[in-house]
């Protein structure tokens, strides 16, 4: 029995109990930690689907385009999906053009693209069989208007869909009745996927045969984006060794986790408990004391947006240039836009992924140093 037949939260609680009973079995504890991480990410996806669906119904989607590196996006998605695939006994395979995707960098919406692929791959794994496969074929072609059309054909060897359900697959809360009681989900993923793809000017087609599997074909046009300069690429791959960070977080446990992650990468971390303390700590120290600020958004006394505006308004040379990176569980695009409009440089969604956080922080600091040198 896989974890899909019971709730992710029950899975986490059960695995914690097993870890408590077998503390001396290091291999088992490590294996259970991996399973808990998978279950937690699945639980987050269910919560995100529910919140996103409410915004969908209220027409609150906004399309903000920014440079997207498909190599990084694919790596992020693969990291999550491989955990689910291994647990379910499903093999993930990929096929691309001989020289890979011809357009690695495009102008798009990374948050929406990630959600699209996580939803589709999750379905391909959940509704598959042990020993089954999920095969992805990616192609690209130029369009007459200068855009590039990226096309993903994602095929699974799973249980497929009945003709009746295939007609309703994009309806909110639609679930195949034969598996609804054994496979977790909200029935909101595919409606969200269709809405996001159409928002980007693309299309999705699904073909399926009961008992034989399903094929999802996604086509989205993009404007090509230039590759980042070598200095930016180098910065994105640098470490945090020796960097001085101001971490602003009102939750003690969250602060401890984030500080440990950054300190494990060699950074020196100072902690402020709310936005007011952050402004005070920044103002009380000489210019150049901190290399970057990691700012929680939802905090008492003064939230992260207000604290960022207050820091940017200070009359000192580093107030305008110090990188301020948002840390928040609100990962919708409008939330990201609010952070940027308040004066933040980048956005990290909770729970914090160590590798991604390091890339985002290092890139923000690299851009600041490049602008100073110029």
Closest by alpha carbon to 370, among 226, 229, 244?
A: 229
| Per-residue pLDDT reduced to its tens digit, 210-254 | 989 999 999 999 999 887 664 444 444 446 889 999 999 998 888
Q: How many angstroms separate the CA atoms of 194 and 171, rounded? A: 10
What pLDDT score does 9 carry?
Answer: 74
Q: Which two tokens stand for residue 349?
A: 């969604």
| Per-residue pLDDT reduced to its tens digit, 240-250 | 889 999 999 99
Q: How many angstroms separate the CA atoms of 261 and 258, rounded? A: 5
258 in Cβ contact with 247 (< 8 Å): yes
**Among the ranges given (21-35, 178-192, 197-211, 238-252), the one the predictor scored with the smallest mean pLDDT:** 178-192
CB neighbours of residue 148 within 10 Å: 17
Q: What's the pTM value of the predicted model, to 2 decimals?
A: 0.57
pLDDT of 81 over the 90 cut: no
What pLDDT score does 104 carry?
Answer: 82
**Among the ranges given (184-193, 231-240, 268-277), the one the predictor scored with the smallest mean pLDDT:** 231-240
- Average pLDDT for 122-136: 92
- The residue ranking higher by pLDDT, 261 or 154, is 154
pLDDT of 332 over the 60 cut: no
pLDDT of 373 over the 60 cut: no
237 in Cβ contact with 365 (< 8 Å): no
pLDDT of 34 over the 90 cut: no
What pLDDT score does 205 carry?
Answer: 96
Among 52-66, 196-210, 220-234, top mean pLDDT goes to 196-210
Q: How far is CA 174 from the centre of its chain?
A: 25
Asked if the bond preceding 332 is cis, omega within 30° of 0, the reply is: no
Closest by alpha carbon to 295, among 321, 328, 319?
A: 328
154 in Cβ contact with 216 (< 8 Å): yes
What pLDDT score does 235 carry?
Answer: 45
What pLDDT score does 236 carry?
Answer: 46
């Amino acid at each position: 029995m896989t974890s899909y037949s019971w709730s992710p939260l029950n899975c986490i609680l059960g695995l914690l109990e097993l870890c408590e009973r077998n503390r001396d079995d290091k291999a088992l504890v490590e294996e259970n930690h991996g399973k808990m991480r998978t279950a937690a990410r699945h639980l987050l996806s269910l919560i995100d689907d529910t919140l996103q669906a409410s915004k969908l119904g209220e027409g609150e989607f906004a399309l903000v385009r920014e440079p997207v590196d498909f190599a990084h996006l694919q790596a992020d998605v693969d990291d999550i999906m491989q955990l689910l695939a291994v647990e379910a006994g499903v093999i993930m395979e990929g096929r691309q053009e001989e020289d890979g995707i011809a357009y690695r960098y495009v102008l798009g919406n990374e948050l929406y693209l990630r959600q699209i692929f996580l939803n589709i791959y999750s379905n391909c794994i959940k509704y598959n069989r042990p020993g089954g496969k999920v095969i992805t074929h990616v192609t690209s072609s130029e369009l007459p208007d200068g855009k590039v059309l990226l096309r993903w054909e994602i095929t699974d060897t799973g249980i497929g869909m009945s003709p009746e359900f295939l007609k309703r697959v994009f309806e909110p809360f639609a679930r195949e009745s034969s598996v609804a009681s054994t496979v977790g989900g909200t029935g909101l993923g595919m409606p969200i996927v269709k809405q996001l793809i159409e928002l980007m000017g693309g299309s999705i087609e699904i073909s399926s045969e009961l008992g034989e599997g399903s094929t999802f074909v996604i086509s989205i046009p993009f404007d090509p984006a230039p590759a980042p300069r070598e200095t930016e690429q180098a910065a994105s791959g640098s470490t945090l060794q020796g960097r001085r960070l101001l971490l602003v977080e009102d939750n003690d446990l969250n602060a401890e986790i984030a500080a440990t992650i950054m300190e494990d990468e060699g950074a020196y971390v100072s902690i402020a408990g709310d936005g007011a303390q952050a402004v005070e700590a920044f103002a009380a120290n000489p210019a150049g004391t901190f290399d970057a600020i990691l700012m929680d958004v939802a905090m008492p006394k003064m939230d992260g947006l207000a604290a960022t505006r207050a820091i940017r308004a200070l009359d000192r040379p580093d107030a305008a240039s110090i990188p301020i990176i948002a840390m928040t569980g609100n990962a919708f695009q409008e939330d990201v836009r609010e952070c940027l409009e308040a004066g933040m440089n980048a956005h990290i969604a909770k729970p914090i992924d160590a590798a991604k956080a390091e890339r985002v922080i290092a890139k923000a600091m690299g851009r600041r140093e490049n602008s100073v040198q110029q």
